[in-house]
């Protein structure tokens, strides 16, 4: 009798727990499915909003296309019907008439083409948005199965869960004693994946906006840095032993060369053939290299022999670092051999533009921690043809340092060189241009940032009052050649004129070289 009573109680408890389990799981499943339905409805609204937004573009561009086609038809009509009734006695009238008619036809064709292009682009972006950002979050089979609990899940529990106590007191006692009891949860089961409250569209849009914001910040910083270097190239004083280069040598111009340029060229050739390791003693260097020391000034004084040896070693270290960075790129390695100046362009050696180029190379390599304040004369030796307005040794444009294309050529070549051969900096797009052409071209493509760079260089030249003839007049008024250079008494020329074998570097050399590298 007692056994039957216990069995009945256990059966009642089992049935009670089973019904409670079914009720709770039914509620949870309904809640899960409801959330899925609400999420689908929410994304359906998102997709409808996207369609409405893009439909505005479609409708407007379709209207533009219709109007452009009508204008094109009218232009053709004016050609067909207008010329035969046009009074040809007035000579200027057909010219103006043709100009207006063909101009309107061109604009009409352009509007039709742009409308077609805009429509295709809008459709493409619409499909991208629909398929990537606002795609319907259709639940997978795993999510549906996780929400659908079975009686087997209930029966896989412990014995106490199947037929255990159901009142709060015994449940509390079972919990204290460590027994496994069935306690229905009010929320979703932990093993059922929850649908996130934030939509995937919002997350994707936030990622895109953040990425674009970072690009804008980087582009702004690049632009500010590039403009700063343009201004420095314009305003930095250059030593008076440099000369102006007026393009490749020709019969009309003759040989363009200065004492400094000749010394720099000979020192470059000697360093190219110098075996490593370098001599530690200054007197062991070739005469051509030692002769260059009289043009190397640090803080308005001539460099000592020890300082000069350190500068030469620094230059060789930079060259070796460059060779290591491009050793796996045969194209770049071959380009380094083309940096040497051709015979017609040897006048570039020691010119104002070459010094400005070397000064900017030194500044960039220091800024990006490749080296530390390499002297401009040796920095110019890294790329002897740098600063020529054209590819390599081809000079498409000539002119002084008061022309925008010259300033742009110097800055453009310097940024491109350190970007390609030292892997630092923004590359040729040194002002962070966001034009259509710059978007298609890589930052390491020499065609990048050409027009924008010339325009920005002109703006900065005009702002500093250094543009064109006005800039040359300002420089001629503010700069007076020292007497020792004006009278041709520098270096070998001075020694020949004085009839002595000594050097002309004297205590007053700092006054002569006040424009030199600090």
Assess whether 270 and 409 both reside in one domain.
Answer: yes
Closest C-alpha among 54, 53, 35, 55 to residue 199: 35
Expressed in angstroms, the distance from the first to the final Cα of the chain is 112
DSSP single-letter state for residue 388:
-
- pLDDT reported for residue 397: 75
CA 271/CA 8 separation, integer angstroms: 106
Assess whether 306 and 422 both reside in one domain.
Answer: yes
Assess whether 366 and 493 both reside in one domain.
Answer: yes
* Count of Cβ atoms closer than 10 Å to residue 277 Cβ: 8
Write the DSSP string, 24-56: HHHHHHHHHHHHHHHHHHHHHHHHHHHHHHHHH
- Which two structure tokens, joined as six digits, stand for 488? 């041709």
- Which two structure tokens, joined as six digits, stand for 109? 């064709």
Assess whether 120 and 237 both reside in one domain.
Answer: no
Count of domains forming the chain: 2
pLDDT tens per residue across all 518 residues of the chain: 678 777 777 777 777 777 777 777 778 878 888 888 888 888 888 888 888 888 888 888 888 899 999 989 988 888 888 877 777 777 788 888 888 888 899 999 999 999 999 999 888 888 888 888 777 887 877 777 777 776 666 666 544 455 555 444 444 444 444 444 444 444 334 433 343 444 454 555 556 656 666 666 788 888 899 999 999 999 988 888 898 887 787 766 667 788 888 899 899 998 888 877 788 888 888 888 888 988 898 888 888 989 999 999 999 999 888 888 888 888 888 888 888 888 888 888 888 988 999 999 999 999 998 888 899 999 999 999 888 888 877 877 777 788 888 999 999 999 999 998 998 988 898 988 887 777 778 888 888 888 889 999 999 998 888 887 665 555 554 443 333 333 343 444 443 433 433 333 333 334 334 334 44
CA 182/CA 11 separation, integer angstroms: 16
CB distance 85 to 17 below 8 Å? no
Assess whether 479 and 374 both reside in one domain.
Answer: yes
Assess whether 245 and 371 both reside in one domain.
Answer: yes
CB distance 244 to 352 below 8 Å? yes
| 22 is a domain residue | yes
Three-state DSSP state, 397: strand
Closest C-alpha among 309, 303, 420, 401 to residue 361: 420
CA 63/CA 46 separation, integer angstroms: 26
- Which two structure tokens, joined as six digits, stand for 28? 């949870």
Assess whether 328 and 414 both reside in one domain.
Answer: yes
CA 483/CA 512 separation, integer angstroms: 9
CA 152/CA 164 separation, integer angstroms: 17
Query: Which of 149, 168, 185 is the C-terminal boundary of a domain?
Result: 149
User: Residues with Cβ < 8 Å from 142, sequence gap 6 or more?
Assistant: 193
CA 295/CA 285 separation, integer angstroms: 16
Assess whether 142 and 261 both reside in one domain.
Answer: no
Assess whether 228 and 143 both reside in one domain.
Answer: no
Closest C-alpha among 23, 1, 21 to residue 13: 21
Q: What is the pTM of this model?
A: 0.57
Write the DSSP string, 305-337: HHHHHHHHHHHHHHHHHHHHHTTT-HHHHHHHH
| 194 is a domain residue | no
Residue positions counted in the chain: 518
Closest C-alpha among 432, 73, 467, 15 to residue 234: 467
- pLDDT reported for residue 17: 74
Query: Which of 110, 125, 149 is the C-terminal boundary of a domain?
Result: 149
Dihedral class, residue 58 (left if φ above 0, else alpha if ψ from -120 to 50, else beta): alpha
CA 270/CA 288 separation, integer angstroms: 7
Which alpha helices (DSSP H) does 435-487 contain, by range?
Answer: 436-440, 450-463, 468-478, 483-486
Assess whether 94 and 220 both reside in one domain.
Answer: no
CB distance 243 to 350 below 8 Å? yes
CB distance 21 to 182 below 8 Å? yes
DSSP single-letter state for residue 443:
T
| 179 is a domain residue | no
Helix axis angle for 200-235 and 450-463, nearest 10°, is 50
Closest C-alpha among 122, 134, 140 to residue 45: 134
User: In which domain, by residue range, is 498 found?
Assistant: 215-512
Assess whether 254 and 384 both reside in one domain.
Answer: yes
CB distance 63 to 112 below 8 Å? no
- Which two structure tokens, joined as six digits, stand for 98? 């043709």
| 171 is a domain residue | no
Assess whether 274 and 421 both reside in one domain.
Answer: yes
Dihedral class, residue 178 (left if φ above 0, else alpha if ψ from -120 to 50, else beta): left
| 59 is a domain residue | yes
- With the C-alpha atoms ordered 38, 40, 45, 46, is the resulting torsion angle positive or negative? positive
Three-state DSSP state, 233: helix
Query: Which of 108, 131, 149 is the C-terminal boundary of a domain?
Result: 149
- pLDDT reported for residue 471: 55
| 463 is a domain residue | yes
| 46 is a domain residue | yes
| 157 is a domain residue | no
């Amino acid at each position: 009798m007692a056994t039957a009573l216990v069995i009945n109680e256990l059966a009642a408890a089992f049935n009670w727990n089973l019904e409670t389990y079914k009720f709770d799981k039914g509620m949870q499943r309904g809640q899960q499915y409801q959330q899925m339905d609400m999420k689908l409805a929410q994304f359906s609204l998102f997709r409808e909003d996207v369609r409405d937004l893009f439909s505005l573009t479609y409708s407007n561009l379709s209207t533009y296309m219709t109007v452009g086609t009508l204008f094109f038809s009218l232009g053709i009509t004016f050609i067909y019907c207008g010329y035969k009734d046009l009074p040809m006695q007035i000579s200027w009238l057909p010219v103006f008439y043709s100009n207006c008619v063909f101009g309107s036809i061109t604009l009409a064709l352009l509007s039709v083409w742009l409308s077609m292009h805009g429509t295709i682009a809008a459709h493409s972006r619409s499909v991208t948005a629909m398929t990537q950002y606002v795609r319907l979050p259709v639940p997978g089979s795993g999510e549906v199965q996780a929400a659908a609990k079975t009686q087997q899940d209930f029966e896989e529990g412990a014995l106490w869960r199947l037929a255990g106590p159901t009142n709060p007191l015994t449940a509390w006692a079972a919990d204290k004693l460590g027994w496994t009891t069935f306690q229905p949860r009010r929320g979703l089961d932990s093993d059922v994946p929850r649908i996130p409250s934030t939509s995937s569209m919002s997350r994707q849009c936030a990622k895109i906006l953040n990425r674009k914001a970072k690009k804008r910040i980087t582009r702004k910083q690049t632009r500010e840095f590039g403009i700063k270097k343009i201004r420095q190239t314009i305003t930095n004083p250059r030593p008076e032993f440099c000369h102006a280069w007026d393009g490749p040598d020709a019969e009309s111009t003759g040989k363009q060369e200065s004492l400094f340029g000749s010394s720099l060229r000979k020192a470059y050739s000697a360093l190219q053939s110098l075996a490593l390791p370098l001599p530690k003693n200054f007197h062991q260097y070739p005469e051509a290299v030692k002769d260059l020391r009289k043009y190397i000034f640090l803080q308005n004084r001539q460099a000592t022999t020890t300082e000069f040896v350190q500068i030469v070693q620094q230059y060789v270290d930079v060259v070796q670092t460059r060779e290591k960075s491009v050793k796996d790129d045969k194209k770049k390695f071959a380009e380094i051999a083309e940096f040497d100046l051709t015979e017609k362009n040897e006048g570039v050696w020691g010119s104002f533009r070459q010094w400005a180029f070397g000064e900017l190379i030194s500044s960039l390599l220091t800024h990006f921690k490749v080296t530390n304040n390499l002297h401009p004369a040796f920095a110019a030796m890294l790329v002897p043809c740098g600063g020529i307005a054209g590819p390599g040794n081809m000079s498409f444009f000539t002119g002084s340092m008061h022309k925008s294309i010259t300033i742009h050529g110097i800055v453009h070549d310097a940024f491109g060189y350190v970007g390609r051969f030292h892997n630092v900096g923004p590359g040729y797009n040194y002002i962070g241009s966001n034009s259509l052409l710059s978007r298609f071209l890589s930052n390491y493509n020499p065609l990048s940032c050409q027009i924008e760079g010339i325009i920005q260089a002109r703006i900065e030249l005009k702002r500093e009052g250094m543009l064109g003839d006005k800039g040359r007049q300002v420089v001629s008024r503010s700069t007076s050649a020292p007497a020792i250079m004006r009278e041709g008494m520098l270096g070998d020329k001075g020694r020949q004129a004085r009839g002595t074998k000594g050097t002309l570097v004297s205590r007053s050399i700092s006054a002569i070289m006040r424009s030199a590298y600090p």
